[in-house]
Amino acid sequence: MRKIIPVILLLLLIPLFAWLSYRQQSYYTFDGFAQGTTYRVIYQYPFGWRYMFNRGSAMLQDEIDSLLAGFDRSLSLYLPESVISRINRNDPGVIADDYFVKVFRMATEVTRKTGGAFDITVGPMVNAWGFGPEGKADTDSVNIDSLLQLVGMDKVALEGRKLVKKVPGVQLDVNAIAQGYAVDVVGDFLENRGIRNYLVELGGEIRARGHKINEQPWTVGIDRPVDNNLIPGQDLQVILECYEINLATSGNYRKFYEKDGVKYAHSIDPRSGYPVLDRLLSVTITAPDCMTADAYATACMVMGLEEGIRMVKKMPELEGYFIYSDEKGAFKTSMTEGFRQYLREDQTEEP
């Protein structure tokens, strides 16, 4: 009998370890909504006894949905009681939370480094040109000179947990940085759960770590910047492969409208108050985190092709991929040397 018991235990442990090995190789995918857009998470099931009998992706999605709902309660312009909405209407009782403080500090730094090409106080301009929560505006009535008096990071300051406005009419718009930050928040959450192989995508901003199934690199596409290319991944300009990346893309091919033959794009130059008119169509930036990539992608769209490329090349922590149109309207691309590491081997992009 003593000899039989170890054999029985071994027979029981073999299928158990086989099942654990299978679970270790399993990847899960789920989708949801946050920041006025969709998100997707792909991750490898973490190995360990604590994960043996839980609900897998359903458990994580519930937690991530709750996490992103809290994020929206801080930074969403579409929620009247969010922290940023209350700040914009000068609610005296609003206290900035950690999300708002981190975004504000990063935005202040990027504004300084871009000479004002990136500025979250551009809210009044965004609303006036019809790209805010209220939708299209009457552009004939836009008084640019008057609204410019409300724009500038020098008109706001964070004192502890209170935002102080030197001009009461200042309104903040963090849409050009918040989606990237939300991706970082979800990525940090996954890593704190012991997950090392994952990809998070929210509104086109991406953070990837480790590898996908069979230890292959993650595959990421950059959309072709043609008007009304509304479905990410449907029409791609280039395909990337990576084991680790923080990536954000900004372009004028999805958010725009036409009036009297004039195209008004959502990239507003805070320095002039007008929508940007440039042959630059799309910018993709990689950075140490997705929030930084998001902010600088927006800044490059405002700066335009030449100035944007010069800035990225001067910042070793950034890499960039630029899509623009030539004099005949044909698509052309330019990229920093460090960006080339991400191109899939069969890509034939010219320098």
pTM: 0.85
Q: How far is CA 113 from CA 56, 144, 149, 280, 311, in A?
A: 43, 24, 21, 20, 9
For the domain made up of 96-165, the CATH class stated in words is mainly alpha
Band (5; pLDDT cuts 50, 70, 90): low
80-105 residue pLDDT tens: 999 999 999 999 999 999 999 999 99
Q: What is the pLDDT of residue 275?
A: 82
Band (330; pLDDT cuts 50, 70, 90): confident
Q: How far is CA 20 from CA 15, 45, 52, in A?
A: 9, 10, 8
Q: What is the pLDDT of residue 133?
A: 62
> What share of the chain in percent tops pLDDT 90?
59
Domain ranges for the chain, please list them. Answer: 96-165
136-186 residue pLDDT tens: 555 555 677 888 899 999 999 999 999 999 999 999 999 999 999 999 999
Q: What is the pLDDT of residue 2?
A: 55
Which tokens go with 66? 């709750």
Determine whether 261 is exposed, middle or buried from the number of CB atoms within 10 Å of its CB (0-12, 13-18, 19+). exposed
What's the rounded mean pLDDT across residues 285-303?
A: 97
What's the rounded mean pLDDT across residues 38-51?
A: 75
